[in-house]
Structure formats: C-alpha cells, structure tokens
A and B are shown apart, each in its own frame.
Chain A
Amino acid sequence: MPLTPDEVAHVAMLARLGLTEEERARLAVELGAIIDHVSALNRVDTSHVAETAQVGGLVNVWREDEERPPLGRRAALANAPDHDDEFFRVGAIQEQ
C-alpha cells in the first residue's frame, strides 16, 4: 500500500531530502511496496530472542587517553565548499 503524501513529506524532511513532486509520487509507491514486503518480518516468532547488539560479539573495546597530532586547520578546510580560512561557513540558520 503506497505511503500517503504526508508520510512521504515527513520522512523526507527528517532526512533533509528536497524531493521533487515526481520523486515524491514515485517514492510513495515504491516505498509502500517495499515496506509491505518487509512487513513479513512480523510473522516471525521472536518472542524468546534478543536483538543482535554487535555481530562481532565484542565488548569493552576502548583506547587509552592519549593525544595524537591533529590534522590542522588547512587540511581540515581543504575540502570545504565554503570557508574563510578559519571557519567553515554556512547560510542563514533561522529556525529549524
């Protein structure tokens, strides 16, 4: 069953995807079909099962509190689309 336009709009905003009208319409159908399919999971009995926390079974993986030389500002800014040699720059934030 396709998603409603409101559902698509809501999810798209959560994901910060600015979708076109055409994309929204298409995704409503595609996502609806996929979600219907994966809802088959509900038929699986998991009443006595715990979620997989970490597929590797590892616990307590940590590092000692030691400093490593940082990258430095120039390298940090090297890939930035907009910067002023000190900071990364973004547009008007306003209300989110």
Chain B
Amino acid sequence: MTETLRGAPAMVDHEAVIGLEVHAQLLTRSKMFCGCPAGYVGAAPNENTCPVCLGLPGTLPVINRRAVEHTVRTALALNCEIPHFTKFDRKNYFYPDLPKGYQISQYDLPLSRNGHLEFSLDGRRVRCGITRVHLEEDTGTLHHAGDVLQSATSSLVDYNRSGVPLMEIVGEPDLRSAEEAREYLVRLRQILMYIGVNDGNLEEGSFRCDANISVRPRGSDTLGVKVEIKNMNSFRAVQRAVEYEITRQITVLGAGETLHQETRGWVEARAATVSQRSKEHAHDYRYFPEPDLAPMVLSVEMVEEVRHTLPELPEARAARLVAEHGIGADDAGVLTATREEADSFERLVAAGVPARLAANWQVNAVNGLSNAHHVPLWESGLGIDGLAALLRLVDAGTVNQTTAKELLEELYLGGGDPGAIVRERGLGQVSDAAELAALVDAAIEANAKAVADFQGGKEGALQAVVGHVMKATKGRADAKLVNRLLRERLSG
C-alpha cells in the first residue's frame, strides 16, 4: 500500500540539496584490527570472531596495512588531498553491536579530504565534492525477534561483521536531484570496484548509502532543515527515496509547517520515508585520539607507490576506447561498466577482432547471454579467446552473423572450438557468387508474387525471397550478397 502526498502546491520554487554518505567495506583478507577473516557472508553466526573483535577485556587492536592502502587508493581516485599526519580516534557510544562500547574511527585528522567526483548526466557535467574519505571498523549485526526493532522483546547479536574494515566517503551537498544522487552512487561504486577496494554489493551491505536531504528556495544559499535518510538497499530505492523525501519536505513547507531535523528510514513496502528517531537527541560521542594505536605518517613515497597501482579509471578508459578504437560513446560506456568487461574488449581487439565488431557483439549478444546465465564472458566456457576466434571467422566472412550467433549461444557455457565446429558441420558461409546465383534464380522463380510486389515498389517484399535462399542454404548464405544479387537480377 503506498502513501501519496497531498498538499498545496508550493508557493515558492524549491531546490533540493543532497549530500550522500557511503560506507564501503574494504576487500581485505582479514579484519581491520585483528586476523579474523573479513569475509563473513555465509559464515555461521559468531564463527569469525576472536578476543579482539569481541572486545574481550585486555585485547588490543593492530592496524591492517592493506586497509590503509585501499583507503589511500580510494582517496587518490577521488582526487582528494592526503595529509602528512593522520590518526584514529575513539567514537564512544553504547549499542549491543559495538563490542568495545566505542568504535575505532577517524575524527579530526582523517586519511583524506577535499576531493571530487565528476560525471555526465543528460548531456551535462556534474561535479560533486568529496568532503573526506576515512577509515574505521564495522559493527556487528543485530537480528530482532519479529524483525522490527521497535517492538522486539529481544535481539540477537552476531559479531562476524564486527571489525571488518570500513571506509566512509562523505560527499558534499552538491547534488540537486534524485537522478544526480543515483548517478553519483553508480559512478562511485564503479570506481571503487575498478580500483579493487570494494565488491559493490548493495544487497549484502558491503556498499551502503545514507542521504542527507534538505530543500531551500531556489537561489538561496542558506541550508534548510537537514533530514537523514537510511535503509536504501538498491539504486532504485535511493532514487525513489530521495524523490519522495524532496516532495515530502516541499509539501510540508508549502503547508506552512516546520520540518524536524531527524533520521527517517525508507520503507519499500510503503514507498515512503518514516521517522526513526529525532536527531535532536544527538549522541555525544566524546571523540578522543585512540591511545592504543600509533598515528600514521604517510610519506610522499608511500602515496606515490599507491598512486602507481591505480588502474585507468572508467571515464578515462571509455574516452580512450572511443579515441583509439573509434567506437561509439554509448558502447564505450557499456564496455567500461566494469574493469573485467573493458579488459575483455581490449583483449578481443588485441586478438585481431575489429573494434566495432567486438563492441557490437559484446554489448548486445554477449551481454544478453551473460545476464541470462549469470555467467560473465571471462568465466564462461567459451571465454574471451573462444569469442575472439568466433568473431575472427565472422570478420573473415567464413561464417555469417546468424550462424555465429547460434554458435555463440551453443558454446557459451560449455566452450568449444568455433573454427573446428564450422568445418565439421559445414556451417561455413556460402558466399560463392556462382553458387548463390543459381539459388537466387530459383528463389525468384518460386516467389513470383513477392518479386512482383518488390518491383512494384514494396521494399519489404524482397525479404521473402531472401528468406527462400537462406532456407535453401540452411541459413548459411551471405545475406548481404544475396540481397545484392537479387537486386541486380530484378532491376535490370
């Protein structure tokens, strides 16, 4: 059941001001401050725990170096400044999923600040500032009896996730619409996956997003009352939640009422944001520098070493593919959606497949199959090398597009040698003009009405005649050549 908003139309034209906060779990083998496995999906409850991440008395944290490197890598990819000196701080509050009663995080001297993320949307450039990227530890997870926090009489705690390295990326409130918010997240997630620091999984919670939304009269530069929105578990949810909240805020103001600074949760089933708790009872986190951890001094050399490990980022790579290979910008965007896809494309080209052919096939036929089977090209039985072989056959005219597509479908999962199969089954394209000429004549004779229609001006009628030749050759005829021969025969 959805709620609809009713209200007087706003008297003033409002603009939305949106700032997004992303928490991204880092791809490390072990947790942030102990050696427990960082991956917990599928693990039995409380199996991946140790005295440190359980917060047992007497235990001490030790920093995971790779987590620091991943954060520096992210900061560089987001054009941030990396300070010389940085440290961890304790954020103190009580909650059952926080075993020590404090979270080790970063407060006033984070690992990086002042970056930006640029992207294109509807033909214009959007630039969103990045306030900071810092490093902290994740909390455990709570399961509420009955699934609803507010009414549960008891809750169950699992500390498998406690201590997993978490990066917090705070965006400036530079976004102005739900579309911009969504696109920012898509681009950010893409970058994090490209540089290998996060697996981009929104459903399982390794990539989480909260939004801070306010509205103000257009042209004003003061900020309105800020509302925090949580519990958006997909890009679609983010877009819908942001849209809803903007409308809600404008409606409330338009009715002459006041907005409360609060936290609201997106409730998918009601297609609405619902108030969770008032931010007026804000926590006093009593931040102070973590005495159990030495501060970090990041040398220029260390930062440069990390910079050298950065791969070409998505936008830059797409632009290069257009410039170097002459493919279309749209195709380039699809091909660079993930690093693996972009790598696949470039390997196809390196294996001798013309760029446009490779792009067309990868974007359409291959993506279709990989989505249907949930198996990407580079993990399929056919593989990149197999596809390259197949496409070289197409390029050489050895096999026609239709046959090639059928072969692709057949070999995708199980693999096989396209060249050998074409030979064995005699699937080679019929492109001998003399051979085809005979078949063309026969087809013309057998389709007198269609021929008459075509000669009378109906372009589409030719297809039936072409089809006749294709059928006679069991689909192996070079369709373009057949077309040409037919037109020659029938025009003169």
Q: A70 and B295: CB pair below 8 A?
A: no
B87 in the interface (beta carbon within 8 A): yes
Kindly provide the distance from the CB of B42 to the nearest chain A CB, expressed in whole angstroms: 14
Cα A91 to Cα B149 in complex, Å, equals: 11
> Which B residues lie within 8 Å of A43 (CB)?
none
> Which A residues lie within 8 Å of B218 (CB)?
none
Cα A73 to Cα B159 in complex, Å, equals: 10
> Which A residues lie within 8 Å of B149 (CB)?
93-94
Q: A61 and B159: CB pair below 8 A?
A: no
Q: A67 and B36: CB pair below 8 A?
A: yes
Given contacts A87-B156, A93-B155, contact A68 B143 (CB under 8 A): no
Cα A68 to Cα B163 in complex, Å, equals: 14
Q: B157 and A90: CB pair below 8 A?
A: yes
> Which B residues lie within 8 Å of A40 (CB)?
none
A66 in the interface (beta carbon within 8 A): yes
Cα A10 to Cα B3 in complex, Å, equals: 39
Give which listed residue, B30, B47, B155, contacts A65 with CB less than 8 A: B30
Cα A95 to Cα B279 in complex, Å, equals: 12
Given contacts A65-B67, A71-B51, contact A90 B96 (CB under 8 A): yes
Q: How many residues of chain B get a CB closer than 8 Å to chain A's CBs?
A: 50
Give which listed residue, A16, A76, A87, A90, contacts B54 with CB less than 8 A: A76
Interface size class on chain A is: 35 or more
> Which A residues lie within 8 Å of B156 (CB)?
84, 86-90
Nearest CB to that of B34 among chain A residues?
A68
> Which B residues lie within 8 Å of A16 (CB)?
94
> Which B residues lie within 8 Å of A71 (CB)?
49-51, 54
Cα A63 to Cα B32 in complex, Å, equals: 10
Kindly provide the distance from the CB of B110 to the nearest chain A CB, expressed in whole angstroms: 15
B48 in the interface (beta carbon within 8 A): yes
Kindly provide the distance from the CB of A8 to the nearest chain B CB, expressed in whole angstroms: 15
Give the contact stretch, choosing among A20-28, A31-39, A52-60. A52-60
B177 in the interface (beta carbon within 8 A): no
Q: B35 and A67: CB pair below 8 A?
A: yes
Cα A94 to Cα B49 in complex, Å, equals: 27
Kindly provide the distance from the CB of A58 to the nearest chain B CB, expressed in whole angstroms: 4
Q: Please, what's the 1-or-0 string for B130-158, where 1 marks a CB less than 8 Å from any CB in chain A?
A: 00000000000011100001101111111
B338 in the interface (beta carbon within 8 A): no
> Which B residues lie within 8 Å of A67 (CB)?
29-30, 35-37
> Which B residues lie within 8 Å of A54 (CB)?
291, 294-295
A49 in the interface (beta carbon within 8 A): no
Cα A60 to Cα B45 in complex, Å, equals: 33
Cα A73 to Cα B43 in complex, Å, equals: 11
> Which A residues lie within 8 Å of B64 (CB)?
62-63, 65
B223 in the interface (beta carbon within 8 A): no
Kindly provide the distance from the CB of A83 to the nearest chain B CB, expressed in whole angstroms: 9
> Which A residues lie within 8 Å of B144 (CB)?
93
A14 in the interface (beta carbon within 8 A): yes
Given contacts A89-B155, A90-B154, A93-B149, contact A62 B68 (CB under 8 A): yes
A77 in the interface (beta carbon within 8 A): yes
B62 in the interface (beta carbon within 8 A): yes
B116 in the interface (beta carbon within 8 A): no
A46 in the interface (beta carbon within 8 A): no
Which interface residue of A14, A71, A94 has the most chain B CB atoms within 10 A?
Answer: A71
Give which listed residue, A60, A62, A64, A89, contacts B154 with CB less than 8 A: A89
> Which A residues lie within 8 Å of B47 (CB)?
70, 72-73
Given contacts A53-B289, A60-B294, contact A65 B65 (CB under 8 A): yes
> Which A residues lie within 8 Å of B142 (CB)?
93
Cα A89 to Cα B46 in complex, Å, equals: 12
Cα A86 to Cα B218 in complex, Å, equals: 54
Q: A63 and B50: CB pair below 8 A?
A: no
Cα A63 to Cα B155 in complex, Å, equals: 34
> Which A residues lie within 8 Å of B277 (CB)?
95-96
Kindly provide the distance from the CB of B63 to the nearest chain A CB, expressed in whole angstroms: 4
> Which B residues lie within 8 Å of A72 (CB)?
47
Nearest CB to that of B286 among chain A residues?
A14
Kindly provide the distance from the CB of B150 to the nearest chain A CB, expressed in whole angstroms: 7
Cα A89 to Cα B156 in complex, Å, equals: 5
Given contacts A59-B295, A76-B46, contact A14 B155 (CB under 8 A): no
Cα A64 to Cα B65 in complex, Å, equals: 6
Cα A70 to Cα B277 in complex, Å, equals: 36
The 6 closest A-B CB pairs, nearest first, are A68-B35, A87-B156, A65-B66, A58-B294, A62-B63, A62-B65
What are some 5 contacts across the A-B interface (CB < 8 A)? A53-B289, A59-B297, A60-B296, A87-B143, A93-B149
